């Protein structure tokens, strides 16, 4: 029996153990943005460090940072084989609104062929399927086919400051021929895809103040500043119902897609629109209707309000005019924008559009540059071949709306091709209640990565 | 010594006891809108019932309702004297934002000649000064000068449904010649005033939904409905920066003030504007700048957003597009508007102005009609004379921005003149942190009410 088949058999036979291990890891609530979960984030780091050691990585360690720890392991047995750096993140998003979870967010539950748990798709299952593929090589072939470095972070959902610093300061240690990131999703469970572009992100908080104290609307309504009202005016001025962002410097610099992308997006437009409507449960899409949905998601900049808060919102009625209000506002940016420069443009637009009588403060919570990679290299070709073998269908190249700032940092710092091969599905509802990961994708993902690793061998 | 002077001496001598009693009552956190404070509201009712009995009211009882209890007492010793119905409310506003209180909201604290506590000005101290004035009559004269009925409610801050039902169902029991409400404030501590008009109020909740679940802004930003954004667009369309409410039916029906009011408001405009700026700590007033501030507060309708909530607003960053958002929005209305009719207009305007792609629900949380009373009657004259005697200055007649729905119900149901004689001050910050009541006002208020009661005697 060829060893490729033996590896696949090993994956089949050990699938339940791999799932059990995943469930154990998922149950650790490693929410990186909430300080009360700091020790859980540390536990999740330690858990995966032990898993790496158990697979056989001679050196698997946690690296202390100013934020959450990094996990690093390397196994470099071959002088004449290339090195692959594998990245993932073991931290997860917060869980609110918690009422909408059908099973508790950190009690991993299998239903209808999916594992439901916060962090399932983003990104724990995707890391685990890579580790299972590596284990299959070690157990069946007795060795890795190539050299492997693994770097996992615990701050991807919190801005990723620590890994950025680490990568910039340790280019020699991380020196590699290619990079694999399993943290994206496929177009469809029968249509494999590779991501070649990611938008950048700028995440800000806009805080407004009016009077020095909360006021009674009976006594002051009609003359008092109302920061909630001003915030609504401001947001409606930054982006209208047509979805157009009113930041002139940004609008002037939006890139045009390539002819091939344009064609693919337009051809696919009706199908994609229908799929998106169904995933979201809506009758129509919003936004810039003159652009096809995939261009709006993948290339056009977006401005979204993620949260808004002000005044009295509990049960009942309180006739208060609050002294303050705030909103969390992000911009997704095409690859060639510098998000810190865009922050200056946004700040200027906010100050120009805020009504008179208010103080406003815009804070840059985090910024990550976008990313575009030419798919014509052996790493992406190997990934495409592995996907085609396992899924029986040629993968498509996609630009994705999300941001993985680390991808562009690897690209710039390590000068090695980055492969974004993810096994999530569009309806995984990452960042939302009832996040899940498909067991079938878990299974196929392990086999795809095992095959991919073999193809990188000289 | 004339008995009037003896009553004043009695008030002076017992002032500290009256304050101690007030502090005891204030310490009961009778927040009517929060269900966890239900038993506290009951305790506050029982406390004042006992106080009424101690003064000598032969029948002082609590009346069970579907909401919080009413407290009722009557003492009708005279066949040939008029009857006065006295109204007040023993419930208080919620306390958030709690961090901004300099002393805990239910730990009554005396600083700089003021009692700081939630409910001090609105309305417990004002009820207590009336009860002290009555006690002075009983102790010094051995009898009330007139007949008195007292009706106190525990739902004024929660819509007042129970008292409205009770008044409508018991017009004979509450039958009276005049009504006294001490729940307003004076223009200034040296300028007594009587309120002859109150705006009505309509308090609503506007809830929007977009997609069936929260979504990741990376994957769906650009095509997904964002209910926070839609709510901002909606609110900015309902009222622009110019303060003009965009509800055509409402705009068409706004009354014009009398020539005398117009003159007073314009004459006083600069002084009032300066005082309002200083009270609020702002550099400029907002709203309809073509109208003088007192007209904007007292006569023009207002639309205010009291609270807004949606998405992620905790520490850090979460790139969610929420499935829902909501706002609490009220309208203050001139006396001749029917708030329930206005609710229909608002609902229509909301549906016309909501961007496409969202579901919206508008809920009428409570509605109270406004009120205007001609000051030319013996009850208001008696109040004006009592104020002039104690303060040494002729009181002015004011329309106030706040709403006391019960005032118009008394007017309509009992057909008796309503006297709105309040002793609060503009900087009492009712409904906001650090609510207070001036001890000097407490003292002068007792003497004013004692004098007022004597003037009602035939």
For residue range B266-312, list pLDDT tens digits in order.
777 778 898 899 889 999 999 999 999 988 988 899 999 999 999 99
Would you say residue A265 has pLDDT above 80?
no
Which among A199, A212, A280 is the nearest to B211, CB-wise?
A280
Q: H/E/C letters for each residue in chain A?
A: CCHHHHHHHHHHHHHHHHHHHHHHHHCCCCECCCHHHHHHHHHHHHHHHHHHHHHCCCEEEEECCCCCCEEEEEECCCCCCCEEEEEEECCECCCCCHHHCCCCCCCCEEECCEEECCCHHHHHHHHHHHHHHHHHHHHHHCCCCCEEEEEEECCHHHCCHHHHHHHHHCHHHHCCCEEEECCCECCECCECEEEEEECEEEEEEEEEECCCCCEEHHHHCCCCCCHHHHHHHHHHHHECCCCCECCHHHHHCCCCCCHHHHHHHHHCHHHHHHHHHHHHCCCCCCCCCCCCHHHHHHCCCEEEEEEEEEECCCCCCCCEECCEEEEEEEEEECCCCCHHHHHHHHHHHHHHHCCCCCEEEEEEEEEECCEECCCCCHHHHHHHHHHHHHHCCCCEEEEECCCCHHHHHHHHHHCCCEEECCCECHHHCCCCCCCEEEHHHHHHHHHHHHHHHHHCCC
How many contacts does A have with B, using Cβ atoms within 8 A? 373
Long-range contacts: B346-354, Cβ < 8 Å, 24+? B346/B202, B346/B204, B346/B247, B349/B238, B349/B246, B349/B247, B349/B248, B350/B206, B350/B234, B350/B238, B353/B233, B353/B234, B353/B237, B353/B238, B353/B246, B354/B208, B354/B230, B354/B233, B354/B234
Note whether B94 contacts A296, CB cutoff 8 Å: no
Which among B159, B236, B310 is the nearest to A317, CB-wise?
B159
Q: Which CATH number fits domain B200-254+301-366: 1.20.1600.10, 3.30.70.380, 3.40.50.720, 3.30.70.360?
A: 3.30.70.360
Is the pTM for the entire model greater than 0.80?
Answer: no
- Nearest Cα neighbor of B218 from A254, A290, A183 is A183
For chain B, what is the mean pLDDT?
93
Task: Check if CATH label 3.30.70.360 holds for domain A200-254+301-368.
Answer: yes
The structure tokens listed for A424 are 């999530």
CA distance to partner chain A, nearest, from residue B451 (Å): 28
Q: Where residue A62 falls among pLDDT bands split at 50, 70, 90?
A: very high
DSSP state of B124: I
The CA distance from A411 to B308, in Å, is: 42
Which among A222, A355, A365 is the nearest to B241, CB-wise?
A355
In chain A, which residue's Cα lies nearest the Cα of B227? A305
**Best-predicted range by mean pLDDT among A191-200, B276-285, B327-336, B439-448?**
B439-448
- CA geometry: angle at A400 spanning A399 and A404, to 5°? 115
The CA distance from B238 to B303, in Å, is: 8
CA distance to partner chain B, nearest, from residue A108 (Å): 19
The CA distance from B141 to B144, in Å, is: 7
Give pLDDT, residue A399: 79
- Nearest Cα neighbor of B73 from B89, B91, B90, B85 is B85
Q: Which residues pair with B203 in a beta bridge?
A: B330, B366
> Measuring CA to CA, how many Å separate A402 from each of A364, B151, B352?
18, 62, 34
Give pLDDT, residue A257: 79
For chain A, what is the mean pLDDT?
93
**Digit-coded pLDDT (tens) for B43-94:** 999 999 999 999 999 989 999 999 999 999 999 999 999 999 999 999 999 9
Residue B38 in 3-state DSSP? Answer: helix
Asked if residue A200 lies in contact with residue A106, where contact means CB atoms within 8 angstroms, the answer is no
CA distance to partner chain B, nearest, from residue A430 (Å): 6
The structure tokens listed for B48 are 């004042």
Question: For chain B, what percent of residues have pLDDT higher than 90?
Answer: 77
User: Which residues from B are below 8 Å from A365, CB to CB?
Assistant: 316-317
In chain A, which residue's Cα lies nearest the Cα of B236? A233
Q: Which residues pair with A307 in a beta bridge?
A: A328, B311
Note whether A236 contacts B232, CB cutoff 8 Å: yes
Q: Which residues pair with A89 in a beta bridge?
A: A153
Question: For chain A, what percent of residues have pLDDT higher than 90?
Answer: 77
Note whether A308 contacts B236, CB cutoff 8 Å: no
Note whether A235 contacts B232, CB cutoff 8 Å: yes
User: Which residues from B are below 8 Å from A185, CB to CB?
Assistant: 219
User: Which residues from A are below 8 Å from B371, CB to CB?
Assistant: none
| Neighbour tally for A111: CB within 10 Å | 11
**Region label for B392, one of left (φ > 0), alpha (ψ between -120 and 50) or beta (otherwise):** left
Q: Which of A419-428, B25-34, B256-265 has the lowest mean pLDDT?
A: B256-265
- How large is the average pLDDT for residues A40-68? 97
Give pLDDT, residue B375: 84
| Neighbour tally for B443: CB within 10 Å | 20
- How large is the average pLDDT for residues A282-287? 94
In chain A, which residue's Cα lies nearest the Cα of B313? A307
Note whether B94 contacts A240, CB cutoff 8 Å: no
The structure tokens listed for B208 are 């929007």
Q: Classify burial at A36, counting beta carbons within 10 Å of its beta carbon; exposed 0-12, middle 13-18, buried 19 or more.
A: exposed
- How large is the average pLDDT for residues A304-323? 93
CA distance to partner chain A, nearest, from residue B266 (Å): 15
Q: Classify burial at B102, counting beta carbons within 10 Å of its beta carbon; exposed 0-12, middle 13-18, buried 19 or more.
A: exposed
Assigned superfamily of A3-198+370-455: Zn peptidases (3.40.630.10)
Give pLDDT, residue A371: 82
Which among A282, A285, A332 is the nearest to B218, CB-wise?
A332
Asked if residue A62 lies in contact with residue A52, where contact means CB atoms within 8 angstroms, the answer is no
Best to test chain B binding among A308, A399, A406 (most B CBs inside 10 Å)? A308
- How large is the average pLDDT for residues A103-118? 97
Question: Helices marked H in B57-160 — which ranges?
Answer: 125-141
Which one has a higher pLDDT value, A97 or B362?
A: B362
- How large is the average pLDDT for residues A166-188? 94
Which among A201, A281, A309 is the nearest to B309, CB-wise?
A309
Best to test chain A binding among B121, B187, B219, B246 (most A CBs inside 10 Å)? B219
User: Which residues from B are below 8 Å from A93, CB to CB?
Assistant: 318, 320
Backbone angles phi and psi of A88, in degrees to 5: -160, 175
| Neighbour tally for A186: CB within 10 Å | 25
The CA distance from A321 to B322, in Å, is: 25
- Nearest Cα neighbor of B130 from B88, B72, B176 is B88
**How does strand B83-89 pair with strand B147-153?**
parallel
Q: Which residues pair with B324 in a beta bridge?
A: B209
Residue B202 in 3-state DSSP? Answer: strand
Q: Where residue A404 falls among pLDDT bands split at 50, 70, 90?
A: confident
**Digit-coded pLDDT (tens) for B439-450:** 999 999 999 999
Q: Where residue B408 falls among pLDDT bands split at 50, 70, 90?
A: confident
Give pLDDT, residue A286: 95
In chain B, which residue's Cα lies nearest the Cα of A186? B219
The CA distance from B58 to A118, in Å, is: 65
Would you say residue A274 has pLDDT above 70?
yes
Residue B143 in 3-state DSSP? Answer: coil
Q: Which of A100-104, A276-280, B25-29, B355-359 has the lowest mean pLDDT?
A: A276-280
Q: Classify burial at A167, counting beta carbons within 10 Å of its beta carbon; exposed 0-12, middle 13-18, buried 19 or more.
A: buried
In chain B, which residue's Cα lies nearest the Cα of A212? B281
Q: Which of A43-47, B186-190, B247-251, B382-386 has the lowest mean pLDDT?
A: B186-190
Residue B262 in 3-state DSSP? Answer: helix
Would you say residue A210 has pLDDT above 90?
yes
The structure tokens listed for B355 are 């961007």
Contacts of B46 (CB under 8 A, 6+ apart): B62
Would you say residue A1 has pLDDT above 70?
no
ipTM reported for the complex surpasses 0.95: no
Q: Where residue A269 falls among pLDDT bands split at 50, 70, 90?
A: confident
Note whether B297 contacts A219, CB cutoff 8 Å: yes
Enumerate the domain spans of chain B. 3-198+370-455, 200-254+301-366, 255-294
Q: Classify burial at A65, counting beta carbons within 10 Å of its beta carbon; exposed 0-12, middle 13-18, buried 19 or more.
A: middle
- How large is the average pLDDT for residues A433-442? 97
Question: Helices marked H in B155-268 — which ranges?
Answer: 161-169, 171-174, 217-220, 227-238, 248-252, 259-267
CA distance to partner chain B, nearest, from residue A432 (Å): 5
The CA distance from A329 to A307, in Å, is: 8
Give pLDDT, residue B1: 59
Note whether B312 contacts A306, CB cutoff 8 Å: yes
The CA distance from B318 to B215, in Å, is: 11
Asked if residue B40 lies in contact with residue B30, where contact means CB atoms within 8 angstroms, the answer is yes
Would you say residue A400 has pLDDT above 80?
no
Backbone angles phi and psi of B235, in degrees to 5: -65, -40
Give pLDDT, residue B427: 87
The structure tokens listed for A39 are 């020790």
The structure tokens listed for B363 are 């809920």
- Nearest Cα neighbor of A191 from A119, A113, A272 is A272
Which one has a higher pLDDT value, B257 or B417?
A: B417
User: Which residues from A are below 8 Å from B89, CB to CB?
Assistant: none
- How large is the average pLDDT for residues A232-247? 97
- CA geometry: angle at A274 spanning A270 and A277, to 5°? 135
User: Which residues from A are below 8 Å from B185, CB to CB?
Assistant: 219
Would you say residue A268 has pLDDT above 90?
no
The CA distance from A373 to A416, in Å, is: 10
Which one has a higher pLDDT value, B265 or B136?
A: B136
Which among B302, B308, B433 is the nearest to A222, CB-wise?
B302
Note whether B311 contacts A328, CB cutoff 8 Å: yes
Note whether A286 contacts B312, CB cutoff 8 Å: no
Note whether B307 contacts A311, CB cutoff 8 Å: yes
In chain A, which residue's Cα lies nearest the Cα of B321? A306
Cα B246 to chain centroid distance, Å, stands at 26
Note whether A280 contacts B221, CB cutoff 8 Å: no
In chain A, which residue's Cα lies nearest the Cα of B215? A432
| Neighbour tally for B131: CB within 10 Å | 24
In chain B, which residue's Cα lies nearest the Cα of A184? B219
Asked if residue B215 lies in contact with residue B348, where contact means CB atoms within 8 angstroms, the answer is no
The CA distance from B9 to B15, in Å, is: 10
Which among B216, B284, B300 is the nearest to A432, CB-wise?
B216
Would you say residue B261 has pLDDT above 90?
no
Note whether A318 contacts B233, CB cutoff 8 Å: no
Cα B33 to chain centroid distance, Å, stands at 14
Give pLDDT, residue B374: 82
Asked if residue A399 lies in contact with residue A299, where contact means CB atoms within 8 angstroms, the answer is yes
The structure tokens listed for A391 are 């899924």
- Nearest Cα neighbor of A123 from A174, A181, A66, A73 is A181
Best to test chain A binding among B36, B207, B229, B301 (most A CBs inside 10 Å)? B229
Burial B21-50 (b: 16+ CB within 10 A, else e): bbbebbbbbbbbbbeebeebbbebbebbbe
**Digit-coded pLDDT (tens) for A338-358:** 999 999 999 999 999 999 999
Asked if the domains at A3-198+370-455 and A200-254+301-368 fall in one CATH topology, the answer is: no
Best to test chain A binding among B220, B241, B283, B310 (most A CBs inside 10 Å)? B220
Would you say residue B348 has pLDDT above 90?
yes
């Amino acid at each position: 029996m060829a060893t490729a088949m033996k590896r696949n058999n090993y994956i089949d036979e050990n699938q339940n153990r791999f799932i059990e291990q995943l469930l154990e890891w998922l149950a650790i609530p490693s929410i990186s943005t909430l300080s009360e979960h700091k020790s859980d984030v540390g536990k999740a780091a330690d858990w995966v460090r032990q898993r790496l050691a158990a697979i056989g990585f001679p050196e698997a360690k946690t690296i202390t940072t100013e934020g959450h720890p990094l996990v690093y392991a390397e196994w470099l047995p071959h002088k004449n084989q290339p090195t692959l750096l594998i990245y993932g993140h073991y931290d997860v998003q917060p869980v609110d609104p918690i009422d909408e979870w059908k099973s508790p967010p950190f009690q991993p539950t299998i239903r209808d062929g999916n594992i439901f748990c916060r962090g399932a798709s983003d990104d724990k299952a995707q890391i685990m399927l890579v580790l299972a593929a590596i284990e299959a090589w070690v157990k069946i072939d007795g060795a890795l086919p190539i050299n492997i470095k693994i770097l996992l972070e615990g701050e991807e959902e919190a801005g990723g400051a620590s890994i950025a610093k680490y990568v910039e300061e340790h280019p020699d240690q991380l020196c590699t021929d290619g990079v694999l990131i399993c943290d994206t999703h496929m177009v469809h469970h029968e249509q494999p895809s590779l991501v070649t572009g990611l938008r950048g992100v700028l995440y800000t908080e806009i805080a407004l103040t009016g009077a020095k104290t909360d006021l009674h609307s009976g006594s002051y309504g009609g003359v008092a500043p109302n920061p909630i009202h001003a915030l609504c005016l401001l947001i409606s001025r930054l982006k209208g119902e047509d979805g157009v962002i009113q930041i002139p410097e940004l609008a002037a610099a939006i890139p045009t897609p390539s002819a091939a992308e344009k064609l693919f997006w337009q051809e696919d437009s009706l199908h994609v629109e229908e799929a998106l409507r169904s995933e979201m449960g809506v009758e129509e899409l919003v936004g810039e209707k003159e652009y096809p949905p995939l261009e709006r998601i993948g290339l056009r900049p977006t401005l979204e309000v993620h949260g808004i808060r002000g005044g009295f919102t509990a049960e009942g009625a309180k006739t208060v005019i609050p002294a303050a209000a705030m909103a969390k506002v992000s911009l997704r940016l095409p690859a060639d924008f510098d998000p810190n420069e865009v922050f200056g443009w946004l700040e200027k637009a906010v100050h120009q559009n805020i009504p008179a009588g208010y103080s406003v403060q815009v804070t840059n919570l985090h910024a990550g540059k976008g990313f575009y990679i030419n798919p014509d290299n052996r790493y992406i070709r190997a990934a495409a071949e592995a996907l085609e073998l396992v899924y029986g269908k040629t993968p498509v190249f996609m630009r994705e709306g999300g941001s993985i700032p680390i991808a562009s940092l690897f690209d710039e710092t390590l000068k090695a091709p980055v492969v974004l091969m993810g096994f999530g599905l569009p309806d995984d509802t990452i960042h939302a209640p009832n996040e899940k990961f498909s067991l079938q994708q878990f299974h196929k993902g392990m086999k795809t990565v095992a095959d991919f690793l073999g193809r990188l061998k000289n």
